[in-house]
Amino acid sequence: MKPMSTPYEADGRSAQKARTRDALVAAARELVAAGVTPTVEDAAAAASISRTTAYRYFPSKRALLIAAHPEVAATSMLPPDPPEEPAARLDAVVRNFTAMILDTEAQQRTMLRLSLESDVAERKALPLRQGRAIAWIAEAVDGLRCVLTDEQLQHLVLSVRAATGIEALVWLVDVAGLSRQDAVALMRWSAQALLQQATTVAPPTPGKGRKRLQRT
């Protein structure tokens, strides 16, 4: 049986290689924040690392940009002592989620553009498509399981996700012409409106053949 290949950065001198990789990622993030979509060569030059070495870590621009996407290690967007009431929990999550989006807006926009340009297989690998926001929103409204069915709860979560995040921010700011502050206020209001509607008139249940949950 053919032995499995080892990633370059994991093959000896791991601490030094980790520093080199981190330097390339940091350089790429700085370039993205400045409005540039960096190539591997751009990041190498900014980090004072040879192009040959840089390509050992990132064989393509896409691989570099995926690595440069803001890392969000948090498994929850709720505060340390979260409220119990679903509306307050949801508002806390949307507030923290939108704050993170604004803090990393340039990188988020770059990843959104890549997700629109990629084919289906490539899109699934992008950080924007890993379902983190879905999990954060679902945690906020989990207390509604005694009121809504699983399918209705999923529909509510999807509706809130559709009204928040980088996609909503881009439309509200670039198309609707709102300030970022007003865009965030509208996203928070929309989330509360969807929650109130869901607890008054249950969300429609997705029909047969429709995918139950898109993790985006």
Grade residue 94 by pLDDT with cuts at 50, 70 and 90: very high
Per-residue model confidence as pLDDT tens digits over 175-206? 999 999 999 999 999 999 999 999 998 777 66
Written as one letter, the residue type at 132 is R
Classified by CATH at the fold level, domain 13-68 comes out as Arc Repressor Mutant, subunit A (1.10.10)
Cβ-based neighbour number of residue 168 at 10 Å: 19
Q: What is the pLDDT of residues 17-45, one digit of tens each?
A: 899 999 999 999 888 877 778 899 999 99
pTM beyond 0.75, yes or no: no
Answer whether 104's CB lies under 8 Å from 93's CB: no
Measured distance CA(76)–CA(91) in Å, rounded = 13
With 50 as the cut, is the pLDDT of residue 215 above it? no
Question: Looking at residue 40, what DSSP letter applies?
Answer: H
Residue ranges, CATH 1.10.10, the chain: 13-68
Q: Cα–Cα distance between 54 and 113 in angstroms, integer?
A: 23
Average pLDDT over residues 112-131: 66
List pLDDT tens digits, range 139-169: 999 999 999 999 999 999 999 999 999 999 9
DSSP-H helix ranges across 13-69? 14-33, 40-46, 51-57, 61-68
103: CB partners within 8 A, 6+ apart: 70
Q: What is the mean pLDDT of the chain?
A: 84
